[in-house]
Amino acid sequence: MLFPDLGLDILRLRNRFGRVVKTFDSNIGQDVEIYKKATAALGHPPKILLSSWSPPATLKASKAEDCKNNPDCTLAKDNGKFVYDKFGEYWRASIAAYRAAGISPDWISIQNEPSFIPPFWEGCKFEPTETEAYPGYDRALAATYKAVRKLPKPPGMLGPEVLGIHHDMLANYVKAMNMDQVVGIAHHLYEKGPDNVWDWLDPGPDSYIDEMKAVPALVRKPLYQTEFGTEDDNGHLGGFETALMIHNALVEEGVVVFLWWDLYWIGDKGLVGIDYRPIRPRDQYFSLRHFARFTDPGWVRVGAASDVSDKVRVSAFASPDDKQLTAIVINSSATDAATVRVDAAGWQDAGSIVYRTVYRPKSSETWKDLGALPAARTVDMPPRSVATVVLKRP
C-alpha cells in the first residue's frame, strides 16, 4: 500500500546523525529498515532526500536539538563567529554514516524551514544572510558544499526548504544563495493569513497560483516541493484540496517533485492511519496516487488543455519510450458535474483504463475502477472529482 500501490518514488528522511541530547532518536537503523522494505516492495531503491531539522546540540547556541520558541535555537558561535565549518563537517560525517549504514542520499537539504523557530520540535534558525543574532543560510550552504565535495560522488544539494512561497520568503533566501552549489530549489507550501486559517483550506489551493507562477522567474533550476500537508484537517478534510494543490504545483509552477509530509501517522493523520486494522488510507493518499501511480521518474509532462479550464483542469505525462500516456483530470466545481472527452492525438488505438475518486468528506468514493474508455472516449466527472486516465500502446 505505501510503496508500489501509491507510486512512491522518493523518501525524505530526517537527518538523525550525531544526536547528543536526544540520543534515543539517533537510530539510523530504523531508517534503513524502512529503506529496505521500500526497496523490496518497489523492486528498486527509492530516491532519498536527507534533510536536517536540527544539527546536534553541540552545534547549537541553545545546547539542545529541540526548540521551544527560544530565540537561541540557532547555530552556535565560537569566539564570536558562527560555526559554519563545523556545521559543514557535521553534514559530511552524516552522509558518510548513512552510506555506511546502507543508505546513500541522492540529495541533501541542510536545514528544514530555516526561517522558523518551532514551539516544541527540532529546528535551527538561519537568516538568508548573517546578522548579529543569526547565521546566514548562504554561508552555511557554502561551508556544507565545500565539506561534502570531499566525499566520493557527493549527493546533490537542494535548498532552502522554506515554509512557503508567499511574502517573498523563498525569493529572499534564493537571492542570497550561490546557485552553483545547488542542483535544485526546494520549498514547502505552508501558508496562513491574518485569520490564522491554513490557506489550503481557505481561500484554497488557487490562492497560491500567482506566487507559484513567480517562482520559475527566480532562478533557472529544477523546482522541488518537498513538504506539504493539510494541517488541522480534522481527519477528514483536505483530500480534494491536496489533488488541486498538486496540479497547481506541477502545472502553474512546474515542480519536478511533490512530496507529502507524513507518509503514515497515528490517528487520522498522514496518508495512512496505522492505528486501524486494516490500516486506513485517507483521501489524501488517493490524491497522491492519482498523480503518482502511473507515472515514474524520467517521465515528461506534456501539453494538455481543457476547453473549460475554469472548471476542468488536466495534466498529462508521457513515458520515455512513448508507450504510455497518463492524464489526470480534475473537476474543480463544487456543484456541477462534467462529461470529459479524452482527445489524445495519436493514441486513439491505445488500450485504456480509468480510475476515479469523488471527494465527499467522510464518505468519498475512492479509486473506483471505471474500466476502459468507452467508444465516445468520455469520463463522467461528478463535482469535486479526480480521474486518472492511462493510455497504453502495445
Surface-to-core class of residue 124, CB atoms within 10 Å of its CB (0-12 exposed, 13-18 middle, 19+ buried): buried
Domain positions in the chain: 10-298, 312-392
Q: 361 Cβ partners below 8 Å, 6+ apart?
A: 236, 237, 239, 283
* 274, pLDDT greater than 90: no
Query: For residue 49, what pLDDT is reported?
Result: 98
Q: Average the pLDDT over 331-350 and give the result.
A: 94
Cβ atoms 388, 355 nearer than 8 A: yes
Cβ atoms 228, 258 nearer than 8 A: yes
**Which band of pLDDT confidence, cut at 50, 70 and 90, is reported for residue 366?**
very high
- Closest to 116 in 3D by CA, of 106, 108, 107, 126: 126
The DSSP element (H or E) to which 42 belongs, if any, is: helix 28-42
**Which band of pLDDT confidence, cut at 50, 70 and 90, is reported for residue 230?**
very high
* 224, pLDDT greater than 90: yes
What CA–CA distance (Å, rounded) separates 197 from 267? 22
> Over the stretch 128-175, which tens digit does the pLDDT of each residue have?
999 999 999 999 999 999 999 999 999 999 999 999 999 999 999 999
* 2, pLDDT greater than 90: no
Surface-to-core class of residue 277, CB atoms within 10 Å of its CB (0-12 exposed, 13-18 middle, 19+ buried): exposed
The position carrying cell 512530496 is 259
- Cell for 262? 507524513
Question: How many residues are present in the chain?
Answer: 394
* 79, pLDDT greater than 90: yes
> Over the stretch 51-77, which tens digit does the pLDDT of each residue have?
999 999 999 999 999 999 999 999 999
Query: For residue 278, what pLDDT is reported?
Result: 85
- The amino acid present at 267, given as its one-letter code, is G
* 1, pLDDT greater than 90: no
Contacts of the segment 202-211: beta carbons below 8 A, 24+ positions apart:
204/241, 204/244, 205/241, 205/244, 205/245, 205/248, 206/244, 206/248, 208/165, 208/166, 208/245, 208/248, 208/252, 209/248, 209/252, 211/165, 211/166
Q: What percent of the chain has pLDDT over 70?
A: 100
- Ranking 255-259, 315-319, 345-349, 358-362 by mean pLDDT, the lowest is 345-349
* 211, pLDDT greater than 90: yes
The DSSP element (H or E) to which 230 belongs, if any, is: none
Query: For residue 35, what pLDDT is reported?
Result: 97
The DSSP element (H or E) to which 255 belongs, if any, is: none
- Judge: domain 10-298, CATH 3.20.20.80: yes
Query: For residue 389, what pLDDT is reported?
Result: 98
Whether 312-392 and 10-298 are alike in CATH topology: the answer is no
φ/ψ of 170, rounded to 5, equals -65, -45
Question: What average pLDDT does the structure give for the chain?
Answer: 96
Cβ atoms 353, 372 nearer than 8 A: yes
The Cβ of residue 306 has, within 10 Å, a number of other Cβ atoms equal to 15
φ/ψ of 184, rounded to 5, equals -170, 165
* 295, pLDDT greater than 90: yes
The DSSP element (H or E) to which 375 belongs, if any, is: none
Query: For residue 231, what pLDDT is reported?
Result: 95
The DSSP element (H or E) to which 355 belongs, if any, is: strand 351-358
* 275, pLDDT greater than 90: no
Query: For residue 280, what pLDDT is reported?
Result: 87
The hierarchical CATH code for the domain 312-392 is 2.60.40.1180
Higher pLDDT, 309 or 165: 165
Cβ atoms 311, 305 nearer than 8 A: no
- The amino acid present at 378, given as its one-letter code, is T
What CA–CA distance (Å, rounded) separates 349 from 366? 28
> Over the stretch 84-117, which tens digit does the pLDDT of each residue have?
999 999 999 999 999 999 999 999 999 999 999 9
